Amino acid sequence: MADMRVLLIEDEKNVAGFISQGLRENGYEVDVIHDGGEAARRLGGAGYDLYIIDWMLPGVDGLTLIRSLREKKPGARILMLTARDTVDDKVQGLDGGADDYLTKPFAFKELLARVRSLLRREEEKDPAPLRVDGLELDPMQRKARAGSTDIPLSNKEFDLLLYLMKNVNKIIPREQIATEVWSVDFDRGTNYIDVYINYLRKKLKEAKACPLILTVRGRGYILKPEND
Ligand code: CA
């Protein structure tokens, strides 16, 4: 953990101070930028293990920064901070390339859990590609494709789809998805798993991938081959 470098882009100095101090106490190296314009100029430079980006920033807003960062560094791990808490806002943020979001105000413990989850690298004992119908996931390359169509997935979308494919034809409760994919305890008040599931469904549909992610009311989700 000692070598993990985090870039925090947050204009509220007390919030930035609280986050950076907490992360340093937990062994992370943290650089802080308070201005969106300055951040935009520096994003093309040296890479960080994780980017924490606030949405509302002076100069250039966080969503624009995330889009540009995603273009420059497709594998970047990005956590978005936002005071906006409607589902549409969050989906817009995830659409822009964030891997995860946290709504202000939040407890530091929650931030730390999200950070750990994003930095946790999938340790595959058997990194052979997984296949369900024509959908193929390569854990080594972190690539997904349906037939000859590449499916662009963010890190968390990839982790979620990987988990669903490993458990094909099994009903997986939300609690289990939260623990296994996000490394956090499930909070019934949040809907990030549903947001990600919908997002995956949309991307699979766009790529004409056959497996379906079904909702089993009151129980969870299941990934099924189409002709099962
Ligand atoms: Ca702000």
User: What average pLDDT does the segment 176-194 reach?
Assistant: 79
Distance 116 CA to ligand 1 centre (A): 23
Distance 103 CA to ligand 1 centre (A): 12
**pLDDT band with cut points at 50, 70 and 90 for residue 72:** confident
Distance 56 CA to ligand 1 centre (A): 4
Q: Does position 198 have pLDDT exceeding 90, yes or no? A: yes
The tokens for 111 are 């931030």
**pLDDT band with cut points at 50, 70 and 90 for residue 202:** very high
User: What average pLDDT does the segment 17-46 reach?
Assistant: 94
Distance 195 CA to ligand 1 centre (A): 23
* Distance between CA atoms of residues 205 and 102, nearest Å: 27
% of the chain surpassing 70 pLDDT: 92
Domain residue spans of the chain: 5-120, 130-224
* Distance between CA atoms of residues 29 and 23, nearest Å: 8
Distance 35 CA to ligand 1 centre (A): 9
Distance 31 CA to ligand 1 centre (A): 17
Query: Are 214 and 113 contacting, i.e. CB atoms less than 8 angstroms apart?
Result: no
* Distance between CA atoms of residues 52 and 118, nearest Å: 11
130-224, CATH topology level:
Arc Repressor Mutant, subunit A (1.10.10)
User: What average pLDDT does the segment 107-121 reach?
Assistant: 87
pLDDT at 125: 43
Global pTM value: 0.62
Q: What's the CATH number for 5-120?
A: 3.40.50.2300
Distance 12 CA to ligand 1 centre (A): 6
User: What average pLDDT does the segment 175-187 reach?
Assistant: 79
Distance 118 CA to ligand 1 centre (A): 22
pLDDT at 204: 94
* Distance between CA atoms of residues 116 and 95, nearest Å: 22
Distance 14 CA to ligand 1 centre (A): 11
Number of C-beta neighbours around residue 185 at 10 A: 9
Distance 130 CA to ligand 1 centre (A): 41
> In CATH terms, are 5-120 and 130-224 the same topology?
no
pLDDT at 64: 95
pLDDT at 2: 47
Provide the CB-side half-sphere exposure for 133 (13 A, CA).
Answer: 19
pLDDT at 227: 65
Distance 153 CA to ligand 1 centre (A): 27
User: What average pLDDT does the segment 59-75 reach?
Assistant: 89
Q: Give pLDDT tens digits for 115-157.
A: 988 887 544 345 688 999 889 999 878 899 998 899 999 888 9
